[in-house]
Amino acid sequence: MKSVYIETYGCQMNEYDSEIVKSILCENDFELTDNPDTASVILLNTCSVRENAHQKVLHRIETLKSLKRQNDNLILGVIGCMAQSLKEELLDDGIGVDLIAGPDTYRRLPGLIRGVEHTGEKAAELKLSRTETYADVFGMQDQGANAWIAVMRGCDNVCTFCVVPQTRGRERSRDPKGIVDEVKQLVDQGFKQVTLLGQNVNSYRFENIDFADLINMVSDIDGIRRIRFTSPHPKDFPTRLIDVIRDNPKACKHIHLPLQAGNDRVLEMMKRTYTSEQFIDLAALIRSEIPGVALTTDIIVGFPTETEDEFQDTLRVVEKVGFDSAFMFKYSERKDTLAQRKYPDDVSEGDKTSRITRLVDMQRRISFERNQAHLGETFEVLVEGRAKKPDQLFGRNDGNKIVVFPDNGASAGEFLNVKINEVTPNTLIGEEV
Ligand code: 5AD
Ligand code: SF4
């Protein structure tokens, strides 16, 4: 039996895809190993979202080459978004990669690996599919607090900075029957929380079932306690979804709403199809309809031609909305995106650094203020594991905030009530009550 070691980079969708790959391989007489040194196949499931994601994997391949020198038969594969984006370029001599497979080809991985083994030839599978949702393949998730589950794949939006339409293809929704069956199995395995994943969950539709219906269907499953999802698009956030999050006690009161930029000219160039005012109004509606909701976001600074004044607009929106937390990035030009074809990457590295530093500082202050408002509150916390600090555990509250508390022997997957008596910008600190 061939043993396979898989390493995952990038987003939660990739984490889930690695579980799908594990399932497919195990059903085809491969076994899994946690040790790359003894594996006969090493697969890197990769990300293309920013250049540093590529660089990380290229460095990793460089290190893994020493294992190949020790073991001639070792097969090194790159799968996922970077394979789809760089294509055969990755198979160039000298790089050391034997096979590449895009995100829609994982059912063919067993054959692909055996082909490389028998012929010694490099191999590629890069066809994107309009229908593949791995509907009948259940991920192989280990025990833990949260299980990921992809409900749709691909993306039909045209955000000009984003490589995902190129790497993951057209949008398609998975049959809710498969989703419900997979969640039932996860509950049997002990999971109490699932996170429904899609590049744009608002567009989930299978026959007459939309995303709000899907959340209700999943919440009807006995044993599931919390349902999270990521990510919706601000351009078409359904009011019915707001109602479901407000009214369904299992739907977590946390919405990740990517802003990307706070200036209307930049938003237009990004083809986000909303204005900063529409975003602010949506955030206000969500906050008024769902008391206590946590709002988080993604922001890019230094998009082509963004001026200092336009960046200041982003700061103004961030201040006005008051996100609980944010992922903030410098613009990174990606191959074959609309932005790469149309606009020069002309904001200097120095300006990008200066903007992100100021944005991060502002968001840190806002996160701290929002966390301070939680002092004295008691939250139900789903325990995830050991915290970095000794003798402390951590988990998350309904709003997805990290809560740290003294180790009381609780294990991952348990629910506890924790009263908050100290906060930092990123953490709530308390004790079980
Ligand atoms: N450069 C920088 N950040 C990007 N993102 C997506 N594409 C790029 C890019 N080319 C960010 C967006 C997105 C998050 C997942 O990554 O903010 O929401
Ligand atoms: Fe995920 Fe996007 Fe990275 Fe692909 S490119 S792994 S979809 S974050």
Ligand 2, atom 1, lies closest to the CA of 11
CA dihedral 25, 19, 164, 10 (to 10 degrees): -120
Report yes or no on 19 lying in a domain.
Answer: yes
What is the spatial order of strands in the sheet that 254-256 belongs to? 254-256, 294-301, 325-330
- Among all bound ligands, the one having the nearest atom to the CA of 197 is 2
Pocket test for ligand 1, best of 157, 161, 297 (most atoms within 8 A of CB): 161
Report yes or no on 270 lying in a domain.
Answer: yes
CATH number (domain holding residue 366): 3.30.750.200
Per-position pLDDT tens, the chain of length 433: 899 999 999 999 999 999 999 999 999 999 999 999 999 999 999 999 999 999 999 999 999 999 999 999 999 999 999 999 999 999 999 999 999 999 999 999 999 999 999 999 999 999 999 999 999 999 998 777 999 999 999 999 999 999 999 999 999 999 999 999 999 999 999 999 999 999 999 999 999 999 999 999 999 999 999 999 999 999 999 999 999 999 999 999 999 999 999 999 999 999 999 999 999 999 999 999 999 999 999 999 999 999 999 999 999 999 999 999 999 999 999 999 999 999 999 999 999 999 999 999 999 999 999 999 999 999 999 999 999 999 999 999 999 999 999 999 999 999 999 999 999 999 999 999 9
How many angstroms separate the alpha carbon of residue 165 from the centre of ligand 2? Answer: 10
The per-residue pLDDT for 143 is: 73
How many angstroms separate the alpha carbon of residue 300 from the centre of ligand 1? Answer: 6
**Measured from the CB, is residue 298 less than 6 Å from ligand 1?**
yes
Ligand 1, atom 12, lies closest to the CA of 298
Q: Do 187 and 217 contact (CB within 8 A), yes or no?
A: no
Residue 194 and residue 226 share a domain: yes
Residue 163 and residue 134 share a domain: yes
**Measured from the CB, is residue 50 less than 6 Å from ligand 1?**
yes
Closest CA to 100 of 115, 111, 87, 85: 87
Number of domains in the chain: 4
**Measured from the CB, is residue 164 less than 6 Å from ligand 2?**
yes
In whole angstroms, how far apart are CA 422 and each of 377, 392, 410, 415, 430? 11, 14, 21, 20, 6
**Which of 101, 125, 149 is where one domain is finished?**
125
Residue 194 and residue 161 share a domain: yes
How many angstroms separate the alpha carbon of residue 252 from the centre of ligand 1? Answer: 24
How many angstroms separate the alpha carbon of residue 13 from the centre of ligand 1? Answer: 15
Residue 141 and residue 226 share a domain: yes
Amino acid at position 358, single letter: R
CA distance 172 to 178: 14
Residue 405 and residue 338 share a domain: no
Residue 329 lies in domain: 259-274+287-373
CA distance 314 to 87: 35
**Which of 327, 344, 373 is where one domain is finished?**
373
| DSSP element (H, E) containing 415 | strand 415-423
Report yes or no on 335 lying in a domain.
Answer: yes
Q: Do 362 and 319 contact (CB within 8 A), yes or no?
A: yes
| Residue 193: burial class (beta carbons within 10 Å; 0-12, 13-18, 19+) | buried
CA dihedral 151, 156, 160, 162 (to 10 degrees): 30
**Which of 334, 355, 373 is where one domain is finished?**
373
Pocket test for ligand 2, best of 12, 14, 78, 82 (most atoms within 8 A of CB): 14
The per-residue pLDDT for 261 is: 98
CATH number (domain holding residue 408): 2.40.50.140
Report yes or no on 281 lying in a domain.
Answer: no
Residue 398 and residue 305 share a domain: no
**Measured from the CB, is residue 334 less than 6 Å from ligand 1?**
yes
CATH number (domain holding residue 85): 3.40.50.12160
**Measured from the CB, is residue 47 less than 6 Å from ligand 2?**
yes
Pocket test for ligand 1, best of 51, 298, 336 (most atoms within 8 A of CB): 298
Report yes or no on 279 lying in a domain.
Answer: no
Residue 427 and residue 401 share a domain: yes
Residue 235 and residue 141 share a domain: yes
**Measured from the CB, is residue 162 less than 6 Å from ligand 2?**
no
CATH number (domain holding residue 151): 3.30.750.210
The per-residue pLDDT for 141 is: 85
pTM of the model: 0.96
Residue 217 and residue 170 share a domain: yes
Both tokens of 138, joined, read 């259940």
Report yes or no on 349 lying in a domain.
Answer: yes
Pocket test for ligand 2, best of 6, 7, 11 (most atoms within 8 A of CB): 11
**Measured from the CB, is residue 13 less than 6 Å from ligand 2?**
yes
Report yes or no on 317 lying in a domain.
Answer: yes
What is the spatial order of strands in the sheet that 2-8 belongs to? 30-32, 2-8, 41-46, 75-80, 99-101, 123-125
Residue 383 and residue 298 share a domain: no
Report yes or no on 280 lying in a domain.
Answer: no
Residue 109 and residue 139 share a domain: no
CA distance 206 to 229: 17
Residue 135 and residue 121 share a domain: no
Ligand 1, atom 14, lies closest to the CA of 298
Both tokens of 154, joined, read 């691909």
3-state secondary structure of 403: strand
**Measured from the CB, is residue 272 less than 6 Å from ligand 1?**
no
Amino acid at position 431, single letter: E
How many angstroms separate the alpha carbon of residue 299 from the centre of ligand 1? Answer: 8
CA dihedral 114, 115, 121, 124 (to 10 degrees): -100
Ligand 2, atom 7, lies closest to the CA of 164
